[in-house]
C-alpha cells in the first residue's frame, strides 16, 4: 500500500501495532489553539431563554457552487470526512473521505465570492464501508511546523499518518484493525505532546472489549512521531467512532454510536470514564467540539448541531442539548471550534441526500435558545 500526496510521492508504510494499557494523565498546559479557550454556550442561553429579535442576515449572490447563505464557507465538495479550523479562525482543513484529499477552505464576507478550495495533500485510501480519510488534526505548533495528522483506511489496516509541509506522509501508528464497517476514527491533541485517538470496532463488538486490540478504543499517544507510537488505553467498548474533543483543560469528551443508543462520554484527569448524555433515538452522533462550558455534537440522522451545556466544575450535563440549524444543511459530520465561538461543520449528504451544492462546510454560531432531546446519566 502506498500513500500519495500532492505531487504523487509514494512511500512504503510498515505495519506495526503495540498496546500499553495505562491511566490518564493530562497536561494542564493544553491551551492550543485557544488561550483561553472560547465559550461555546453564551451566557444566559439555553432551553429556557427567551428568543431575541432575529437580525436580518445578508446574502451573497448565488451561482454555480456558491451558496447564497453567508454561513456556508464552501460548497460542491466530495463526501467529507471531518475538518479542523486553522489558528486564524478564518480557514479550515477539510478531509474528503472518498478522494483522500485534504483541502484548505477560507471564510469570506457576504459581499465576496468564496474562493475555490486549495488541495494541500492527497493520500491513497481504501473506502470500503465507512473507511477512507476520516479525520484530520493540526500539530499544536502548526504555525511553526506546518504538520498535519490524518486517520486513514488502507487495504490492510486503519492508521494515523503525519504529513509535513513538504508533502511526504509518514506513519505514526499502523495496524489498527480494519473491518467491513467501524473503520472511522477521530484524532485531536490534548496538549503539545499528547494526541488522543478514538477508533471504531472494525465491525466486531468483541474486539472493542479486547484489551489486546486497538479496535473500539480511546487512547493517547505521547510525542506522536514516526516510530514512536506507544498507545495508552483510556476507554473501551466504542461502537462506531464519532469524535473526540478535549476541552483544553482536564477533560476529554468523545462520542460513539452503539446498536442501542448514541453516546457522549468523557474521561477526566484521573482516568475516570463517565457518560455525559445518551440518545436512545440514535441521531447519528459525529464529530464534537468542546470548551470549558459545553460540547457541540454534529448529528447526521438528526440533521442538526447539538449544544450541550456542561457544568464547568463537575462537567455534568443536566438539561437536554439545544438543537441548532436543524434540517437546514442536512446531515452533519465533523465539528471544530473557532476562536470566536462559532462551530465549523461539514455535511455528508452525498450521494443519496445531496442537493446541488453539497457537500458543504458551514459556520454555525452558538445557540441563543432552543431545545433538544435525550437522556442524562
Tell me the three-class secondary structure of 109-145, residue by residue. CCCCCCCCCEEEEECCCCCCCCCCEEEEEECCCHHHH
Grade residue 292 by pLDDT with cuts at 50, 70 and 90. confident
CA distances (Å), origin 339, targets 38, 39, 40, 240: 6, 9, 10, 29
Three-state SS at 91: strand
Per-residue pLDDT tens for 92-117?
Answer: 999 999 999 999 999 999 888 899 99
The C-alpha atoms of residue 15 and residue 8 are separated, in whole angstroms, by 21
pLDDT for 7 beyond 50 = no
Report pLDDT for 168. Answer: 78
- Residue pair 215/176 in contact (Cβ under 8 Å)? The answer is yes
d(C-alpha 347, C-alpha 353), whole Å: 10
C-alpha cell at 298: 454534529
- In angstroms, rounded to a whole number, what is the distance separating the alpha carbons of residues 367 and 256? 23
pLDDT digits (tens, 9 = 90+) for 23-42: 443 333 333 444 445 777 65
Mean pLDDT along residues 57-71? 82
Which of 12-16, 310-314, 364-368 is the most confident on average? 310-314
Q: What pLDDT sits at residue 250?
A: 86
State residue 368's pLDDT score. Answer: 65
Q: How far is CA 349 from CA 77, 152, 159, 240, 278, in A?
A: 10, 21, 25, 18, 24
Task: Write down the pLDDT at residue 51.
Answer: 39
Burial 64-80 (b: 16+ CB within 10 A, else e): eeebebbbbbbbebbbb
**84-88, 131-135, 142-146, 225-229, range with the lowest pLDDT:** 225-229
Q: Give the separation between CA 373 and CA 371, rounded to whole angstroms.
A: 7
Residue with cell 471504531: 200
Classify strands 148-153 and 133-138 as parallel, antiparallel or unpaired. antiparallel
Dist. CA 194–CA 222, nearest whole Å? 5
- 159 vs 128: which has the higher pLDDT: 159
In angstroms, the CA 264 to CA 235 distance is 13
State mean pLDDT over 129-134: 95
User: How much is the pTM?
Assistant: 0.86
Chain-centroid distance, C-alpha 9? 27
**Domains defined for the chain, CATH in brackets:** 2-7+27-47+77-364 (2.120.10.30)
* Mean pLDDT of the region 327-337: 97
Q: CA dihedral defined by 301, 305, 308, 312, rounded to 10 degrees?
A: 140
Mean pLDDT of 62-80: 92
What is the number of other CB atoms lying within 10 angstroms of the CB of residue 112? 11
**In the prediction, which pLDDT does 64 show?**
84
348: pLDDT strictly greater than 80:
yes
d(CA 185, CA 199): 5
Q: What is the pLDDT of residue 71?
A: 95
Task: Specify whether the CB–CB gap between 149 and 195 falls below 8 A.
Answer: yes
Q: 8 in the Ramachandran plot: left (φ > 0), alpha (ψ -120 to 50) or beta?
A: left
Amino acid at each position: 500500500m502506498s500513500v500519495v500526496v500532492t505531487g504523487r510521492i509514494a512511500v512504503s508504510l510498515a505495519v506495526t501495532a503495540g498496546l500499553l494499557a495505562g491511566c490518564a494523565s493530562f497536561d494542564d498546559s493544553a491551551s492550543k489553539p485557544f488561550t483561553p479557550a472560547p465559550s461555546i454556550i453564551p451566557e444566559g442561553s439555553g432551553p429556557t431563554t427567551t428568543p431575541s429579535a432575529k437580525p436580518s442576515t445578508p446574502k451573497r449572490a448565488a451561482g454555480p457552487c456558491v451558496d447564497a447563505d453567508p454561513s456556508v464557507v464552501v460548497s460542491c465538495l466530495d463526501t467529507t470526512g471531518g475538518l479542523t479550523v486553522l489558528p486564524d479562525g478564518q480557514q479550515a482543513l477539510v478531509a474528503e473521505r472518498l478522494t483522500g484529499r485534504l483541502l484548505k477552505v477560507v471564510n469570506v464576507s457576504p459581499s465576496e465570492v468564496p474562493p475555490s478550495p486549495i488541495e494541500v495533500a492527497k493520500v491513497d485510501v481504501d473506502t470500503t464501508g465507512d473507511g477512507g480519510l476520516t479525520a484530520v488534526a493540526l500539530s499544536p505548533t502548526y504555525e511553526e511546523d506546518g504538520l498535519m495528522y490524518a486517520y486513514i483506511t488502507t487495504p490492510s489496516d486503519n492508521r494515523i499518518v503525519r504529513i509535513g509541509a513538504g508533502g511526504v506522509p509518514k506513519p505514526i501508528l499502523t495496524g489498527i484493525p480494519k473491518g467491513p464497517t467501524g473503520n472511522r476514527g477521530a484524532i485531536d491533541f490534548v496538549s503539545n505532546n499528547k494526541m488522543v485517538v478514538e477508533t471504531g470496532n472494525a465491525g466486531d463488538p468483541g474486539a472493542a472489549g479486547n484489551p489486546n486490540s486497538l479496535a473500539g478504543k480511546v487512547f493517547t499517544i505521547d510525542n506522536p512521531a514516526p516510530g514512536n507510537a506507544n498507545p495508552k488505553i483510556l476507554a473501551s467498548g466504542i461502537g462506531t467512532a464519532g469524535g473526540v474533543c478535549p476541552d483544553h483543560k482536564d477533560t476529554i469528551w468523545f462520542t460513539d454510536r452503539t446498536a442501542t443508543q448514541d453516546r457522549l462520554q468523557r474521561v477526566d484527569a484521573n482516568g475516570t470514564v463517565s457518560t455525559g448524555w445518551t440518545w436512545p433515538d440514535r441521531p447519528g452522533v459525529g464529530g464534537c467540539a468542546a470548551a470549558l462550558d459545553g460540547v457541540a455534537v454534529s448529528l447526521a440522522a438528526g440533521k442538526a448541531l447539538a449544544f450541550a451545556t456542561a457544568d464547568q466544575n463537575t462537567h455534568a450535563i443536566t438539561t437536554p442539548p439545544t438543537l441548532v440549524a436543524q434540517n437546514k444543511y442536512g446531515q452533519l459530520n465533523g465539528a471544530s471550534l473557532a476562536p470566536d465561538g462559532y462551530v465549523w461543520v461539514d455535511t455528508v449528504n452525498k450521494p443519496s441526500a445531496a442537493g446541488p451544492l453539497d457537500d458543504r462546510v458551514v459556520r454555525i454560531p452558538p445557540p441563543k435558545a432552543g431545545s433538544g432531546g435525550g437522556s442524562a446519566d
